[in-house]
């Protein structure tokens, strides 16, 4: 009976053998279905509105696109003209004597080198490389920083032709729209040729033809594989990898380009090995006036307005007459006393009291070396750094007549010595600065404070790294000639720190200002009382000190400096006029 009762019993929770689930266990499943339906519904609503919003955003950005201009005009390389302070044109960049290059008119390894490092899938995408973009995003996420870019050559061309250097969502959307327009308007070879004719390659060179003539003294059609790889390597950072600045760095970058070309099948591994053993060599160029300054000014202009902005007129602060005199004087110095003493290089900067660069010489021979020793070379200034130490001393309460013992000094393992190991006993600060006594400078920086000294250097415009050690008093930290001249300008203009500058205005082909200089300096100021004391001491350098051979016969100040082994010799002088 028990067995019969069990067989007739109905299962709990069911109305018959095929009844619907109605107990508590069914409720979560029904709630899940309702939640899924709601999510789907709202997802569709949000997706539709999002698509409409994105479409409206794209439409607005498309409406706000810059004018596309005349298509034939796009094929001409932009020209950049530099004007001196009096309006005289002294340099022009961006146009070569030959016609703009075509892809078929170039050795095949030049476009292949460019594509290998910039856009390996160029001939397989429609202007936007979705696969490359996804790959770049993954690489950047894994690295935690930007290590790859996703822009195609077409996008880069769109940016250079029509857009500015700013990084905004609007600009990126417009870049994509313009890239699609370019792909629809031009063939792939035409797009690549436009890019090769307009891309910035350092030293004021826009386009492969101009760069080939500038760096290698030959037209682009005659470039060898090692030269093509070096030019393609410049695209990542034209100023950093320019062979005129650092040939070794340019060669290492070219080696990376060759490896990429092997990866894309453009060359064999054996070819790459041979070329790496024979990096490109620079050719000689016709030397023009103010060439070092022109290169520096072009780099500055590119930093202000970006590359590929069309024709530009750059107004500079250069004084043509003064520049000629400085170049001749530098040449005479090297040919005369310099040759006798084995001096091979020279760097000169002449500033106005407002920081405007009036003249610049960056080396002995631009044709042999385009490295700008006036603006780029980091060198120890030696005793030319001492005015900052004396400023700190004056600020701490000392005077030009304060006395410090000029005697041997030792700070740990640091044992500075005076010239010829001569010491003079108790001397005034004026005598110590005029005679450039090292022991006094070291004692003074210990007394006034290293941090106080660094503070003065910073306030007057020294931006390079300064070591917190007693040797700083003797110029042990490296600086550039340009920033030292910038700092000394405050001694001549009443105590106001200035920014050294060479550009005042940049105009486009329509005459519109795309950059205008504003501002004056970093804000540092020397009090009139302290400045008067310092200038009295600096004048003594010329009247009876280490700079007496340079005295002018009118109020002026100066400081000399030499480094260990007399590797470098400095002279920085100034006058109110």
**Residues assigned a catalytic role:** 118, 383
Please tell me whether residues 528 and 393 are part of one structural domain. Answer: yes
548 part of a folded domain: yes
Choose among 441, 442, 444: nearest CA to 396.
444
Please tell me whether residues 406 and 270 are part of one structural domain. Answer: no
Please tell me whether residues 403 and 262 are part of one structural domain. Answer: no
For residues 136, 141, 146, 150, the Cα torsion angle rounded to the nearest 10 degrees is: 20
Least confident segment among 236-245, 452-461, 487-496: 236-245
Q: How confident is the model at residue 339 (pLDDT cuts 50, 70, 90)?
A: confident
Q: Specify the CATH number for the domain of residue 220.
A: 1.10.3810.10
Q: How confident is the model at residue 9 (pLDDT cuts 50, 70, 90)?
A: very low
249 part of a folded domain: yes
Please tell me whether residues 419 and 527 are part of one structural domain. Answer: yes
Please tell me whether residues 246 and 124 are part of one structural domain. Answer: yes
Q: How confident is the model at residue 338 (pLDDT cuts 50, 70, 90)?
A: confident
Residue 15 in this model has a pLDDT that exceeds 60: no
Averaged pLDDT score across all residues of the chain:
86
pLDDT single digits (tens) 158-187: 888 877 666 666 677 778 888 898 998 899
Q: Which pLDDT value is given to residue 524?
A: 85
Domain boundary residue, one of 247, 273, 289: 289
315 part of a folded domain: no
374 part of a folded domain: no
Taking CA atoms, 107 is separated from 110, 275, 404, in Å, by: 6, 16, 70
The structural domain count of the chain equals 2
DSSP string, 322-341: HHHHHHHHHHHHIIIIIHHT
Please tell me whether residues 250 and 107 are part of one structural domain. Answer: yes
Please tell me whether residues 401 and 274 are part of one structural domain. Answer: no
Please tell me whether residues 435 and 554 are part of one structural domain. Answer: yes
Least confident segment among 9-23, 68-82, 87-101, 175-189: 9-23
426 part of a folded domain: yes
Please tell me whether residues 253 and 122 are part of one structural domain. Answer: yes
150 part of a folded domain: yes
Please tell me whether residues 285 and 386 are part of one structural domain. Answer: no
Choose among 57, 462, 113: nearest CA to 266.
113
Domain boundary residue, one of 266, 289, 312: 289
Q: Look at residue 293 and give its three-state secondary structure.
A: helix
213 part of a folded domain: yes
Taking CA atoms, 293 is separated from 319, 373, 423, in Å, by: 11, 11, 42
Please tell me whether residues 561 and 423 are part of one structural domain. Answer: yes
pLDDT single digits (tens) 93-107: 865 434 578 999 999
Q: Which pLDDT value is given to residue 12?
A: 46
Q: Specify the CATH number for the domain of residue 460.
A: 3.40.710.10
> What percentage of the chain reaches a pLDDT higher than 70?
81
**Domain encompassing residue 178:** 71-80+94-289
Taking CA atoms, 129 is separated from 54, 61, 179, 331, in Å, by: 20, 21, 11, 53
Domain boundary residue, one of 239, 264, 289: 289
- Under a CB-based contact definition with an 8 Å cutoff, are residues 275 and 269 in contact? no
Please tell me whether residues 277 and 406 are part of one structural domain. Answer: no
């Amino acid at each position: 009976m028990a067995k019969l009762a069990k067989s007739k019993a109905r299962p709990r929770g069911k109305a018959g053998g095929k009844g619907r689930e109605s107990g508590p266990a069914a409720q979560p499943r029904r709630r899940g279905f309702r939640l899924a339906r709601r999510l789907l519904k709202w997802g569709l609503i949000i997706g539709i509105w999002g698509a409409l919003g994105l479409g409206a955003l794209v439409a607005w950005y498309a409406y706000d696109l810059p004018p596309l201009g005349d298509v034939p005009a796009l094929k001409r390389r932009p020209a950049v003209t530099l004007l001196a302070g009096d309006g005289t044109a002294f340099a022009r960049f961006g146009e070569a004597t030959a016609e703009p290059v075509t892809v078929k008119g170039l050795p095949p390894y030049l476009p292949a080198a460019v594509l290998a490092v910039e856009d390996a899938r160029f001939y397989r995408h429609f202007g936007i490389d979705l696969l490359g973009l996804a790959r770049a995003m993954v690489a950047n996420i894994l690295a935690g920083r930007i290590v790859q870019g996703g822009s195609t050559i077409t996008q880069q061309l769109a940016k250079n032709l029509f857009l500015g250097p700013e990084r905004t969502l609007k600009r990126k959307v417009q870049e994509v729209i313009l890239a699609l327009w370019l792909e629809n308007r031009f063939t792939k070879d035409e797009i690549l040729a436009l890019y090769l004719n307009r891309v910035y390659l350092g030293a004021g060179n826009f386009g492969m033809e101009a760069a080939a003539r500038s760096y290698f003294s030959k037209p682009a059609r005659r470039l060898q594989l090692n030269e093509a790889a070096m030019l393609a390597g410049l695209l990542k950072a034209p100023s950093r990898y320019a062979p005129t600045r650092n040939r070794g760095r340019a060669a290492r970058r070219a080696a990376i380009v060759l490896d990429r070309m092997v990866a894309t099948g453009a060359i064999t591994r054996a070819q790459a090995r041979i070329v790496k053993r024979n990096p490109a060599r620079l050719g000689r160029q016709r030397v023009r006036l103010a060439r070092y300054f022109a290169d520096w000014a072009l780099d500055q202009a590119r930093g202000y307005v970006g590359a590929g902005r069309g024709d530009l007129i750059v107004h500079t602060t250069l004084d043509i007459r003064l520049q000629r005199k400085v170049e001749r004087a530098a040449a005479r110095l090297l040919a005369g006393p310099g040759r006798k003493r084995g001096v091979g290089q020279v760097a000169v900067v002449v500033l106005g009291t407002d920081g405007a660069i009036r003249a610049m010489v960056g080396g002995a021979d631009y044709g042999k070396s385009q490295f700008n020793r006036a603006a780029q070379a980091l060198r120890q200034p030696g005793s030319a750094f001492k005015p900052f130490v004396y400023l700190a001393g004056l600020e701490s309460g000392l005077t030009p007549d304060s006395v410090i013992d000029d005697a041997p000094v030792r700070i740990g393992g640091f044992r500075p010595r005076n010239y010829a190991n001569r010491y003079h006993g108790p001397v005034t600060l004026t005598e110590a600065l005029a005679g450039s006594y090292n022991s006094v400078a070291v004692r003074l920086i210990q007394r006034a404070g290293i941090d106080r000294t660094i503070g003065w250097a910073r306030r007057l415009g020294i931006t390079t790294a300064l070591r917190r050690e007693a040797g700083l008093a003797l110029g042990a930290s490296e600086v550039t000639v340009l920033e030292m001249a910038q700092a000394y300008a405050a001694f001549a203009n009443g105590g106001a720190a200035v920014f050294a500058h060479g550009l005042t205005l940049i105009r486009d082909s329509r005459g519109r200002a795309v950059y205008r200089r504003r501002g004056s300096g970093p804000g540092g100021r020397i009090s009139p009382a302290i400045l008067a004391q310092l200038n009295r001491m600096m004048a003594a350098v010329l009247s009876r000190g280490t700079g007496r051979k340079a005295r002018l016969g009118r109020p002026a100040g100066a400081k000399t400096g030499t480094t260990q082994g007399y590797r470098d010799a400095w002279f920085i002088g100034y006058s109110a006029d």
